[in-house]
Amino acid sequence: MIPLRDDAPRYGTPYVTRFLLVINIGIFLCEWIVSRSYGQGALQALIRLFGLIPARIAILLQQGGYVPHEVVSQIGSYVVTPEAALLPFLTSMFLHASWLHVIANMWALWIFGDNVEDHVGHAMYLLMYLLCGLAGGVVHTVFNFDSTVPSVGASGAIAGIMGAYLVLFPSARVLTLVPFLFVFFLWLPAWVVLGYWFIVQFLSGAATAIASTHNTGGGVAFWAHVGGFLSGVLLIRLFPSRRRHLRYG
């Protein structure tokens, strides 16, 4: 199911949502320029530097002890500084792997972000976005502790915004493209669209965890989505509402 737009009312201008759209798209354009000007090797080096690599945390925690050579050889160093291990929890949120990746993330942010920002206010919304992104990175690291593959994308942060939207506007209608034999355009309740999305992410994460106990391959960071979404559900209940009359359904 692909959400296209929603009917939840918006009363203010979503300045932070627009800012995040510009920043994410702008940084991806910089990535594209790097790849076109200096080659894929330079882009991969940039992603390895600023992307979230869970194994760096493993090495940081085991500093001074035994670290598996196959892990170290892919990280590139026996020594991992706290900055190199921890800063990517933030920087990875603003990198994307492809045009499809950034477009899909920004589309979801555009649909669901404005109403959440309207509800909590600009500053609290930005804080929620960052906290959900960090939570998604932590959950991804926990479930992929030995992975040497960089994880990038705003999916964890945006999943948190989607979780907050579900709490605030469960009965809002979302125009959804449903490809099932034929293509259907349906107005569905937000709880159906977002609930279905979360279940798919959770089951996909569980399936990948069962399939491999040493996940060093690529793919979608499903657990970052799960962690971000659940943190959004929790935080929206803790953050004060700027305008009580914006609750919908």
Domains of the chain, start order: 2-246 (1.20.1540.10)
pTM of this prediction?
0.87
Give the tens place of pLDDT for each residue, 155-200.
Answer: 999 999 999 999 999 999 999 998 877 788 899 999 999 999 999 9
Integer Rg of the chain from CA: 19
What is the average pLDDT across 127-135? 97
| Lookup result for tokens 């979608």 | 220
Q: How far apart are CA 15 and CA 232, in angstroms?
A: 20
Q: Average pLDDT, stretch 14-42?
A: 95
Question: What pLDDT does 28 receive?
Answer: 96
Residue, of 228 and 181, whose pLDDT is higher: 228
Q: In the prediction, which pLDDT does 89 show?
A: 95
- Closest by Cα among 126, 92, 88, 97 to 109: 126
CA 209 to chain centroid, in Å, comes to 19
Q: Which of 203, 94, 239 is nearest to 157 (CA)?
A: 94
Q: List the beta bridge partners of residue 179.
A: 183
Share of residues in the chain with pLDDT > 70 (%): 86
CA distance 159 to 114: 14
Rounded CA gap, 148 and 57, in Å? 10
Structure confidence at residue 128 as a pLDDT band (50, 70, 90): very high
pLDDT value at position 245? 45
- The pLDDT assigned to 249 comes to 44
Residue type, 9: P
